Amino acid sequence: MKILILGGTGAMGKHLVNLLDRDGVETVVTSRKKRNSQGHIRYIQGDARDRRFLENLLQEQYDCIVDFMIYTTQEFLYRYKKLLSNTKQYVFLSSSRVYANSDSPITEDSPRLLDISTDAAFLATDEYALAKARQEDILRNSGTTNWTIIRPYITYSEIRLQLGVLEKEEWLYRALHGRTIVFSENIAKKTTTLTHGYDVARGLYTLIGNEFAYSRIFQITGNQSVSWNDVLNIYVGVLKKELGYTPKVLLCSMTDFMKCHFAEYQIKYDRMFDRVFDNSRIKQFIDVESFKNTEKGLSDCLTEFLKDTPFFYLNGRTEAYKDRLTHEYTPLKEIRSIKQKIKYILFRFLLK
């Protein structure tokens, strides 16, 4: 078997690659960074969204293509036929963010935002949840049967630790540098479901080459649901143990929080929903009871991350708003680019 993984270096992809390598599966993985090939894994450096790069990849035939990339709907329209025709099975990574609000556990047949939303301004966008739903529809209406749609929800790993809509650079970095974690009091009360990237990868792996998965949709989530306040407390507990002090936390109003994180629709149409899932369909292929316990999984991943702490860039504007709320300051030396330093100065001291 020969597998192509587009964008397979994130919280789910890296675990899937390890599983494939373990079982001796010939695997080609795209990465924008240069990585050394090893074992049965061959890395090819390039952007899988680039048309010429993709066309070169598709000169070969694959038994399965697993696509972790994020496309606009127009980008996907250009490439979906090529992807479907160059493989026996095309596995499309969608998202459980496509779902509308639900008072009962969400199934694969639950209504999607694209289908029932009446927010004309929202529907006029190609926001992530809508783009993924539209791309699902393109596959479902393609006239082919060799596709499988995966809807993970929020995944975490040793390199990705989210708090609501905040990535680790937006909350954990502050805690490690003695500044206050700024979070939404409204989101903190909501229920969510977090699944370790390794467990999502294990579930996905059972569907590769499985004809029973063709033309079907699977959400891969764990059984546990917790509040975001529970998640925050898990993180704070680990940090207290590892750092020797309790990080400061400010739970602010939604108005203030929206200034700190510009993700109106992600907040309004996802994180402000209670997200509980019915994973009966994927249970036919994997024992979800074996998925990592949320508290232990998050604790272990954060503990592991603290051994190295590889952060990406800070956003000068959002850090400025948080510092205004907490009456703190971020040293300019911590902000890497000149552009972001200028934004920090403007929004921390000059602009209201």
> Is 352 a residue whose pLDDT tops 90?
no
CB atoms within 10 A of CB 340: 19
Q: What is the pLDDT of residues 39-51, one digit of tens each?
A: 999 999 999 999 9
At 52 the pLDDT is 95
% pLDDT > 90, the chain: 96
Produce one character per residue of 18-47: b if its CB has 16 or more CB atoms within 10 Å, e if not: ebbbeeebebbbbbeeeeeeeeebebbeee
> Is 216 a residue whose pLDDT tops 80?
yes
| β-strands 154-156, 87-93 pairing | unpaired
% pLDDT > 70, the chain: 100
Q: What is the pLDDT of residues 240-285, one digit of tens each?
A: 999 999 999 999 999 999 999 989 999 999 999 999 999 999 999 9
Q: Distance of CA 300 to CAs 26, 206, 296, Å?
A: 31, 25, 6
Q: Which CATH architecture has domain 2-165+193-226+275-291?
A: 3-Layer(aba) Sandwich (3.40)
Question: pTM here?
Answer: 0.95
| Domain ranges (residues) in the chain | 2-165+193-226+275-291, 316-350
Judge contact between 88 and 141, C-beta under 8 A: no
Alpha helices in 244-312 (DSSP H): 254-260, 264-266, 294-305
- Sorted by sequence, the CB contacts under 8 Å of residue 163 that are 6+ apart come out as 170, 171, 172, 181, 183, 228, 231, 232, 235
Torsions phi, psi for 120 (to 5 deg)? -60, -40
Q: Distance of CA 142 to CAs 7, 147, 215, Å?
A: 23, 10, 11
At 7 the pLDDT is 94
Q: What is the pLDDT of residues 326-346, one digit of tens each?
A: 999 999 999 999 999 999 999
163 DSSP 8-state letter: B
Report the alpha-carbon distance of residue 126 to residue 52 in Å, rounded.
24
Which tokens is 67 given?
């696509």
> Is 75 a residue whose pLDDT tops 80?
yes
Torsions phi, psi for 278 (to 5 deg)? -100, 110
> Is 11 a residue whose pLDDT tops 80?
yes
At 245 the pLDDT is 95
Q: How confident is the model at residue 95 (pLDDT cuts 50, 70, 90)?
A: very high
Mean pLDDT of the chain: 97
Which tokens is 259 given?
């200034």
SS3 103: coil
At 309 the pLDDT is 84
At 351 the pLDDT is 84
